[in-house]
Chains A and B, each alone.
Chain A
Amino acid sequence: MDVSSDPDAFAQLVRVHQAMVFSLARHLLGDADEAEEVAQEVFCKLFQHAEALESDRHVLFWLRRVTVHQALDHGRRRRVRPRVGLESAPEPLAPAAETDPWRAERLRDAVAALPPEQRAAVVLRYEEDMEPGEIAQLLRVSVHTVKSRLQRALRQLRATASACQPETSRR
């Protein structure tokens, strides 16, 4: 699939996948500006490697893998933790609902505070709806490792989520 010689085809590829690439980077880095920067880098790499990619499925797999690695590398370089800690967050005024934006934001912060490997597994599992086997293939680790990372992450997130519950809803 060589789109590097066809700018229109390449532009179309960027348009189709930009939400996925940006969103993955956004959730892995916790910052929209940096996610945009990472997305640009990923698409530039795609342009250079387009010749080696054989199908749409291959492109999707490649983009997910490169985005995760690029975002985690970017995060390691800047060594910045999430800006808002859960401890400093104010108590919610109303009981938590499924679509509570405050709670969703706290959960995103909690995901951003996870160790990088666990964060990657959680984002791929719940944002991209990937199965542990697919995540294992993408991260080049065993399925057992992915499952254990997910379990540890969920344990941590559960603890954080229950800490965020208002007193009334905890009883």
Chain B
Amino acid sequence: MTIDRELENELRAALRRQPPPRDLTPGVLAAVCRPGPRPRRWVAVLAAACVLLAVVAGMAQWREQAARRQEAAARADARQLVFALRLTAADLGRVQRHLH
């Protein structure tokens, strides 16, 4: 028998299942049947209200920022359009001068 096999057998013997010194069932049943602490309902309500408030405030802020972003984008587009129109007008003026 190799040393490892011997050690493994010794371990199996040393770690053999040991029953508890007394039946655990009555203690476990008493523990699970014991009424737990009453949940504090107002804490849950307050927490839910805070979450709701945070969500509503977050959504409002997000909408405001989205509107601001849209407005800024529209302004930039308008500026670009005016600039393009100016360039076109200048080019048209130049062409007209050449024709006359």
Residues on A facing B (Cβ under 8 Å)? 7, 10-11, 14-15, 18-20, 22-23, 26-27, 32, 35-36, 39-40, 43-44, 47, 98-99, 103-105, 107-108, 111, 122-123, 126-127, 129, 154, 157-158, 161
Contacts and interface: CB of A to CB of B under 8 A. Distances in A.
Contacts of A154: 4, 7-8
A11 B33 CA distance: 12
B36 to A, nearest CB: 10
Interface in B1-42: 3-4, 7-21, 23-25, 27-29, 31-33
Contact of B31 (A15, A44, A105): A44
A18 B25 contact: yes
Given A27-B15, A103-B14, 9 more contacts: A18-B20, A18-B25, A19-B18, A22-B19, A39-B24, A40-B31, A98-B10, A126-B8, A157-B11
Contact of B14 (A20, A40, A111): A111
Q: Is the interface of B mostly helix, strand, loop or mixed?
A: helix
Contacts of B19: 18-19, 22-23
A19 B23 contact: no
Given A14-B24, A14-B25, A157-B7, A108 B14 contact: yes
Contact of B20 (A19, A47, A98, A157): A19
Contacts of B27: 40
Interface of B: 3-4, 7-21, 23-25, 27-29, 31-33
Given A15-B23, A98-B13, A161-B10, A23 B18 contact: yes
Given A19-B19, A40-B24, A123-B15, A158 B7 contact: yes
B13 A104 contact: yes
A19 B17 CA distance: 7
13 contacts: A15-B23, A15-B25, A18-B23, A18-B24, A22-B24, A43-B28, A43-B31, A47-B32, A99-B13, A108-B15, A111-B14, A126-B12, A127-B17
Contacts of A47: 28, 32
A161 B7 CA distance: 8
Q: Which of B8, B9, B28 has the most CB of A within 10 A?
A: B28
A49 to B, nearest CB: 12
Contacts of A35: 20
